[in-house]
Chain A
Amino acid sequence: MIEVQDIVKRYGATVAVNHVTFQVGKGEILGFLGPNGAGKSTTLKILTCYLVADSGTVRVNGFDVLEDSLGVRQSIGYLPESTPLYHDMRVIDYLKFAGKARQIDARALKGAIDRVVSQVKIERMLKKNVGHLSKGYRQRVGLAQALIHDPPILILDEPTSGLDPHQIIEIRELLRELGKTKLVLFSSHILQEISAICTRIVIIKDGKLVADGRPDELQARASGQQIFRARIQGPEGAVRERLGTVAGVESVEVIRTTDHSCDYRVRGRVDCDLGTSVHRAVSDGGWSLSILEPESRSLEEVYLKLTASRPAKSA
């Protein structure tokens, strides 16, 4: 539903988006993750036709953003960062305006407003001025205007920024629900946000796409080695020595010692069956193995690794 092919966007000498390519299909909740200033918002602005890329192509719901911009804009619901709304309007008037501007038929407009009002739970706020609402309710009104024409694609730029924990949970629940029937693409620089609801993550840094995949795929890919935790009953020195000789093992460390057993962290290459080899080595040594489980890097570690700034080379 969204095909981004090799887009580049420059602001003067600064390259905000640098040859980014990705595709998103229906039913996916795509998290667009990256540090502040990574190029997330610029990419979303290009997808929504607010900006034009210097090069590359973007197709949204089958429409080209340059050749059929109106088709793209009709297909998407968009909530920009910081939720810009007309503060001088009442919520109900604003939603009517948003519906009419999206060419919803006058007869269908009331039904559309009732639907989004109940979806984002703003029934009690309809008569209030947008400018008098709390940040959380403004965010909901912003979501309501993005949903009013029931678009197949929802694009949200930092939708939970500035909300309190309860509001964040409510917005996440709503996005999860919407993700069942729509393509939801949202950006955030908060990892927990993305990992909580996304089925797929795209990480962008300095305008470049540095990772694209399911959360578990990214964890495995970024780790670069297999890590197992093993609880073994046997003499510590002999066990360490034996495990160190197993093919593919790169390091063995003791992470916990009790009267009867020790916990070991065994790191090895990704191209070998490390679990089986460790199990066999323990059996061959005549010791007993009570726990053997893989340890994966947390998504946070993956993110930090992929977005870490490289130290400058000294002259």
Chain B
Amino acid sequence: MRNILTIYRRELMSYFTSPIAYIFICAFLVVMGVFFFFYNPFFQQPNPDLRNYYSILPLTFALLIPAVTMRLWSEEKKSGTVELLMTLPLKSWELVIAKFLAGYSVMVITLLLTMTVPLSVSLVVDLDWGVIFASYLGALCLAAVYISVGSAISAMTENQIVALLSAMVVLFILWGIGFPQVVQALNNVVGRLGTGLGWFGSLYHFENFAKGLVNPVDIVYAVSMTAFFLVLNNFAVEWRKF
């Protein structure tokens, strides 16, 4: 645990000693703000609630989270510091977990900042706080999955741009595969396997949270997907030795 904390602190510090975290947080809040005010504007809705606001989270995550994860391993490989890191007396899974937690922390801080929207809106409109907290729980689950995907991809290349674009493509697929239309199209091509593939889509699970439903299956989805990609990340780190 102490080793994880040591690496975690360094990683988190490096986000905030460079402009990356600040630019990411600003970009995220701007995208969410634009959506709140201009796309299906909140104050023009007949029965205003924040369901629409939170429904954009999966796509925003898919587009912006790769900017947080791209540097996690690629930068270490490019600068050569991975050689020092991997020759320290630390287990590779400790490094994987620490880096994941650092990226995840940036996301948690960003999500905390988005809470200014429901807090200020609640001054003029009665909000269903159960739905809002479920949406945040869903967002935290989704962020964990997406950060683990991005980190695993970052461990496979030393080029940050490649890591960024590859993660965007994978996360976009992971987001889109949950759409009913996509599932239907897949069913037409591969039979009932399409429905199974649709289950892996993040949208499919996040929609339940956005409706205020906390289904253990959706939490199991997030935990198992995150665990799978962290194991893949560890494998990519270890494979480099051979």
Contact, CB under 8 Å: B80 / A88: no
Measured in the bound complex, the distance between the Cα atoms of B30 and A180 in whole Å is: 61
Chain A residues, Cβ within 8 Å of B13: 88-89, 93
Contact, CB under 8 Å: B17 / A73: no
Q: Contacts A88-B14, A101-B7 known; A52 to B89 CB distance under 8 Å?
A: no
- Some 20 contacts from A to B, beta carbons below 8 A apart, are A49-B86, A51-B241, A70-B91, A73-B87, A73-B88, A73-B89, A80-B83, A80-B87, A82-B80, A84-B81, A84-B83, A84-B84, A85-B84, A86-B14, A86-B81, A88-B13, A97-B10, A101-B88, A103-B2, A103-B89
Chain B residues, Cβ within 8 Å of A176: none
Among the listed A50, A74, A85, A87, which residue makes an inter-chain contact with B89, where contact means beta carbons less than 8 Å apart? A74
Measured in the bound complex, the distance between the Cα atoms of B80 and A74 in whole Å is: 20
The 8 A CB mask of B84-113 against A (1 = contact, 0 = none) is 101111110000000000000000000000
Question: Is A214 in the interface zone, CB < 8 Å from B?
Answer: no
Question: Is B79 in the interface zone, CB < 8 Å from A?
Answer: yes
Question: Is A279 in the interface zone, CB < 8 Å from B?
Answer: no
CB distance from B69 to the nearest CB of A (A): 18
- Look across to chain A and name the residue whose beta carbon is closest to the beta carbon of B82: A84
Chain B residues, Cβ within 8 Å of A70: 89, 91
Question: Is B242 in the interface zone, CB < 8 Å from A?
Answer: yes
- Look across to chain B and name the residue whose beta carbon is closest to the beta carbon of A155: B87
Give the size category of A's interface with B.
Answer: 20 to 34
Chain B residues, Cβ within 8 Å of A74: 89
Give the size category of B's interface with A.
Answer: 20 to 34
The 8 A CB mask of B230-242 against A (1 = contact, 0 = none) is 0000000000011
Question: Is B215 in the interface zone, CB < 8 Å from A?
Answer: no
CB distance from B234 to the nearest CB of A (A): 15
* Residues B57-82 near A (CB distance < 8 A): 79-82
Chain A residues, Cβ within 8 Å of B40: none
Interface of chain A: mostly helix, strand, loop or mixed: loop
CB distance from B2 to the nearest CB of A (A): 8
Contact, CB under 8 Å: A50 / B83: yes
Question: Is B122 in the interface zone, CB < 8 Å from A?
Answer: no
Question: Is A45 in the interface zone, CB < 8 Å from B?
Answer: yes
CB distance from B16 to the nearest CB of A (A): 10
Q: Contacts A73-B88, A84-B79, A102-B89 known; A50 to B241 CB distance under 8 Å?
A: yes
Question: Is A48 in the interface zone, CB < 8 Å from B?
Answer: yes
Question: Is A78 in the interface zone, CB < 8 Å from B?
Answer: yes
Contact, CB under 8 Å: B84 / A88: no
* Residues A224-278 near B (CB distance < 8 A): none
- Look across to chain B and name the residue whose beta carbon is closest to the beta carbon of A9: B242
* Residues A57-103 near B (CB distance < 8 A): 70, 73-74, 76, 78, 80, 82, 84-89, 93, 97-98, 100-103
Measured in the bound complex, the distance between the Cα atoms of B13 and A101 in whole Å is: 15
Contact, CB under 8 Å: B87 / A97: no
Chain B residues, Cβ within 8 Å of A145: 84
Contact, CB under 8 Å: A50 / B86: yes
Chain A residues, Cβ within 8 Å of B91: 70
